[in-house]
């Protein structure tokens, strides 16, 4: 019986004190993260030039004899991963009311005094049916805004370009294009 107690005690001691064979466990993990970039240029939603109108109203003699300027905040909101230009053009040579015409060159478009967050070199553009640069070499950025002034100078509104035309609403589209450099 002494032998059995001794064997039991040794077995029990070996189990309790036994060899501590601990398996190594991972304490770190490594993951690869990829960022895939594509060049983007966009005139973003929220640009008031998208689906909006600019309305000039000539109701009095004073209207025809003075400059009229309409300022549109956030006319363009551009996101671009590269520097870019903004060009503008009319959809045709004339504002039209049926067969009655007013040449588009009565309208000047330029950056407003408080131009917004878009940088670059800004130019005043006398509207035509040909692309003209409104902003050149604007720095890249996200949701860059450009506030625009639309002006019909008195020299145009008091000339035969507008005077003597039949009453009514004359319409033309204006298209803005942002192009990465």
pLDDT in 10s for each residue of the chain, 181 residues: 556 665 655 555 555 555 555 566 778 888 999 999 899 999 999 899 999 999 999 999 999 999 999 999 999 999 999 999 999 999 999 999 999 999 999 999 999 999 999 999 999 999 999 999 999 999 999 999 999 999 999 999 999 999 999 999 999 999 999 999 9
CA-to-CA distance for 70 and 67, rounded, in angstroms? 10
Buried b (16+ CB within 10 A) or exposed e, 85-94: bbbbbbeeeb
CA-to-CA distance for 137 and 180, rounded, in angstroms? 9
Residue 76 is assigned to a structural domain of this protein: yes
Residue 16 is assigned to a structural domain of this protein: no
Residue 14 is assigned to a structural domain of this protein: no
| pTM exceeds 0.85 | no
Domain encompassing residue 83: 41-180
Which CATH number fits the domain that encloses residue 71? 2.60.40
Residue 128 is assigned to a structural domain of this protein: yes
User: Based on the structure, what is the number of domains in the chain?
Assistant: 1
CA-to-CA distance for 35 and 178, rounded, in angstroms? 25
Residue 3 is assigned to a structural domain of this protein: no
- Alpha helices by DSSP H, listed for 51-90, are 61-64
Q: CB count, 10 Å around CB of 84?
A: 24
* Backbone dihedral angles phi then psi of residue 179, each to the nearest 5 degrees: -130, 125
């Amino acid at each position: 019986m002494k032998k059995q107690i001794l064997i039991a005690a040794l077995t029990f001691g070996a189990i309790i004190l036994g060899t501590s064979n601990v398996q190594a466990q991972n304490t770190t993990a490594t993951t690869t993260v990829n960022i895939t970039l594509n060049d983007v240029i966009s005139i973003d939603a929220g640009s008031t030039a998208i689906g909006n109108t600019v309305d000039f109203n000539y109701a009095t003699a004073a209207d025809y004899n003075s400059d009229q300027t309409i300022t549109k905040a956030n006319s363009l909101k551009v996101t671009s991963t590269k520097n870019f230009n903004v060009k503008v053009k009319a959809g045709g040579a004339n504002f039209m009311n049926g067969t009655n015409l007013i040449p588009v060159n009565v309208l000047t478009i330029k950056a407003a005094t408080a131009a917004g967050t878009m940088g670059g070199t800004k130019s005043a553009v006398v509207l035509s049916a040909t692309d003209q640069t409104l902003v050149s070499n604007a720095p890249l950025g996200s949701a860059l805004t450009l506030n625009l002034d639309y002006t019909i100078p008195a020299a145009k509104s008091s000339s035969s370009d507008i005077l003597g035309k039949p009453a009514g609403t004359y319409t033309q589209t204006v298209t803005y294009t942002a192009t990465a450099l």
